[in-house]
Amino acid sequence: MNGVSAQAHRAAVAARLAERVRRVRRQAERIEAAADSPDGLIRATVGGHGQLLELELNPRILRNPDSRALAGAIAGTIQSAQRAVDREVARLSREVHGS
């Protein structure tokens, strides 16, 4: 390959990679994942950036007045949903890197 064709090849490779990155970013913006607490009383839905989109609490959860346990259960459920999103984003990222 001469200098001009090598440069054109690198530019084409870079353009393809940039397009794959843009596609993955668009897909990541649409990712949502939900998780339920082990007792099924809490459901958290998070978006592709890990942000909390929705939190559902079954009214039966109020039967236990332990606010510290409730906070821990909510946080744990949100973290489970965030891990699910992280796995999906990692899968999309592998597509960009061709792994």
More confident residue, 77 or 49: 77
- Nearest Cα neighbor of 90 from 38, 24, 36 is 24
CA–CA distance, 99 with 95 (Å, rounded to integer): 6
Band (98; pLDDT cuts 50, 70, 90): low
The residues spanned by each domain of the chain are: 3-97
For residue 75, what is the enclosing H or E element? Answer: helix 67-97
Q: Which amino acid is at 77?
A: T
| pLDDT tens for each residue of 6-60 | 888 888 888 888 888 788 778 777 899 999 999 999 999 999 888 999 999 999 9
* 3-97 CATH pick, 3.40.720.10, 2.70.98.10, 2.60.40.10, 3.30.1310.10: 3.30.1310.10
Q: Is the alpha carbon torsion for 9, 10, 11, 14 positive or negative?
A: positive
